[in-house]
Every structure is written in C-alpha cells, then in structure tokens.
A and B are shown apart, each in its own frame.
Chain A
Amino acid sequence: MLSFILIQNRQGKTRLAKWYSAYNDDEKIKLKGEVHRLVAPRDQKHQSNFVEFRGSSKIVYRRYAGLFFCACVDANDNELAYLEAIHFFVEVLDQFFGNVCELDLVFNFYKVYAILDEVFLAGEIQETSKQVVLTRLEHLDKLD
C-alpha cells in the first residue's frame, strides 16, 4: 500500500504531496525533507529506483528531468509495479496537459489532485487504462 506520493524538484520544493496514511503537519514536513535528502543525491545511472525507508517501507522513485516522483510503499510491495504506476500517472499528466511541464503542476494543482484520485485511491492503484482515465478527465474538465 502507498503511504504517500511526493513530487519534488531538485531543490526539494514539493510540487505535490498526497498522503494516504495519517500524518500530522509536523510529520509531513519531516517526511518531505527526509525523502528529498534520501533520493536527490542518488546516482541516476548506477543506482536502483528503490531505497529502503524507515525500516518497514521503501521509496520507489523516478526522475523526470528536474522532478522526482516518489512513492512510499510497504517494504514487501512489488517495486516495479509501483515504479510503472508512477510512469503511468506521468503519462496521463503528459497527455492531459499536452506536453506537461513543472508549471502545469503549479498552476493547475487542483486538477492534478483530481487526476491523482482517478489513478490512485486509498493508497492503491485504481485504474490502469490510460484511455479510461483520460476520457473521464476530459469529460470532467468540460463540466461547469
């Protein structure tokens, strides 16, 4: 199960934070910092996309240009399934916004949350058909 998803840039600025486990505000701030410090210095070429995190979890992450997409999952979860779920989500963003960039996430933050709720829910992967998600999102986007 996902505990949280974070999208952070290289400077550690969090562009999106979605929490699936209950954390208070202080913990959230701490987690953001910890994840950034753990992931950002890692070598892209020679290191895996997984890092152990706080013993019973791990961070599955992928870097897209200047942005780190990080998912915190249980230590026993299938790493690659979550790694590709991240990519699936990024592809949905890319198609929805049309060649997505970091600023899309800033200006349309409320839409990104809505997109997230179509792909992941309650810490689980919900929908894995790009067609299904995009058709739905376009429909919702047109509604007043």
Chain B
Amino acid sequence: MKECIAMLLAGGQGSRLYALTQTMAKPAVYFGGKYRIIDFPLSNCVNSGVDTVGVLTQYQPLELNEYLGNGQPWDLDRLYGGVHVLPPYQTAKGSNWYKGTANAIYQNINFIERYEPKYVLILSGDHIYKMNYEKMLARHKEKGADCTIAVLDVPKEEASRFGIMTCEEGGRIVKFSEKPKNPDSTLASMGIYIFSWEKLKKYLVEDEEDPSSENDFGKNIIPKMLSRQEKLFAYNFEGYWKDVGTIDSLWEANMDLLNPAVPFDVWDNSWKIYSRTRNLPPHYVGGDAVVENSMVGEGCTVEGFVDFSVLFQSVTVERGATVRDSIVMPGSVIKKGANVQYAIIGENCVVEEGATVGQRPENMEDMDKWGIAVLGNGVKVAREVSVPSKAMIYADVTEDE
C-alpha cells in the first residue's frame, strides 16, 4: 500500500490559450525555456516523496501521453506505483467522459484503491509553483483533517478572481466563496487538496448520485463537506504560484523567470524541475549577437538581438533579427531583420525576413488594442508581413493578408 497518492487533473482544454492548445492539452504547453507546465506538479510530487501519480487526461491527450511515456524523466517508472495516464473509458454499463473534476476522480476509484492509500492529493496541471506536499500532508495529519486545501494570501483587490477561504483561528475553514464580489478574506484556493481517502470516497459516491451536481470539487464537494461540519483546514503556502491559464499570465510567468526580484528559481538544484529532454548540443551565440536578460535553451542558434526573452530548444534567431519581451517555443525560426516584440511564438513557427509580430506598448496609440501577439504551433508569417499586437494566429499568414 501507499500512504499518499496523487491524482493530477490534466484533462482541461485550456480554451483561453486557444492557439497554443489546438493540438495539445494545457498541461503539455511549453513553459520556461525547456519545460512543460505538467513538469512542475510532477517534479513537486517526486521531490515530495509521492511516487504514485494518476494523470487524468481527456482533451487532446496524444502529445501529453507521449511526453509522459513511462515516467522515467521524473523518476516515476516504478515497479509499484509510478505515473499512470488515466483517460475516460468504457464499462459494461456504457461510457462516460469526465463530467467534472470530482467525476474524473470518481471514475478512477478502482485505480486509487489498488494502492490502498490513506490520503489522496488532488492537483491540477495548469499551475507553476514549487511546493513540498510532504509538509502539507504532515499538517493534514497533525490537524486530523478530512481535507486540507492549500491557500495563498492574495492582494485584496485580486481576491474576487479566486475561490476564497474564510478561516477561524487555527486554520479551520468556515466558509468557501467562489469568486466573491466582496471578499471577507484574502486566502485563495490554489486548487491543491489533500483528502483522507475514506472520507473523499464517501462524498464522491454521494455526489455521483446527485443528478443536479456538476461533479466539481470547488462547486460541489467542498461546499457539501463544509455544510456538514467536516474538518477542512487551510494550508498557507508562501512562495511563488501562478495560474498560467491565460495568454497574459503565461507570458507573465515566463517573464517572472527573468526577474531576479521574483522568488522563483528553476536553477535551484535542491528542488529540481525534471522534464523529458531532447538530445541537443549546447546553444550557440554568434559574434554579432546580443543576448541580455534572457533564458536560452539547448540547440539554439542566436545571431541576432535577444532581450528579455525566453528561447526554448532549437530556436534560431538570425542576424539582424530582434526578439524582445517575447517567448519563442521549440524549433521556431526568426529570420533576418524580423522583429518580434511582446509575443508568444508557438512551436516550429517561421517568421520570415522583415516580418513583424507584436508591438511595444509605448508605440501604441490606443492601449485597448495592445496585448501579447500569439502565433499557434507551426504558423508561418510571410516576408514583410506585420502581425498586429494582441492577434491570435493559428493559420499561416501570407503576403496578401
């Protein structure tokens, strides 16, 4: 048996990342120069001693399945335990897509019970953070809790964007309000839960029988547990945490890695972030290149100007090209004289000579039209063509457009 196993919700479409999630689920989206979003919760699991992880997939799972493989890059290829991809499946009674987060766990009760866990850790695949779940579990045990929810103290003005926990002294949760207009607390749920398994199982079964339920943790399970005075505790997390579900937040979180003032360090060897690596040579910076305040992955060829940017593996920035305040995903080529600013360039894109993608905010007359420009995977932008600020492109842009 295992004391604690993790269930990672990775089925989300990530519709707000649109062009980037056309062919892959959100947790497979690239982040931080060599990683994918799912590397963060998976590495946290391994670094916290959680060696059994069920990954619940539903939307566009191919890329994610292939990426996870047998789990070896995360040291999760285990004889007993390890990483398991859990897609929805058919049964004798029929088949069901995962209806909600709670239903996804409900449909995998058999998987969980094979490990006879005392505790189940519920994670989501769209957050960037480093967290020791072992400490959270210790707290859960110490309090004799039925459920422990990790919370982050957010600025008061942002509280209405989150699920807010109101706690009494000692951390016991007395009230949960989803995106409240007038929040009476600033403790926001991070979507990370530890449940005592017997208790959770009971609620999952009950929730499944309720036809009016949306089968969602935040909307159904947690409120129900609270209404019955179960012991729910908040676990205060101090550190960097970012939901990267939107283009702006994905861009910001990448840029945070470049900011020495942000307390989030992927270079820290004591809490490594593991990923499936490609076999690529060291990156090359040419004699005329200028690279400043940036992150550059392996296999890149940089001969142009790169500032405040994150270049993933095998990106080429040709002579005279400019990449500023941008994220360029693996294999993309920024050709001579092209100009990429405040943009996210997807995988294997080509920005031809003299083309422009994105705009600097200070050059905009109408700030409402300003935003990060996004090229979806494999997009080609023809010579001298200009992709405006805030555009979201997922088909090639030719010279006529």
| A and B: bona fide binding partners | no
B residues neighboring A (CB under 8 Å): none
Interface residues of A (CB under 8 A from B): none
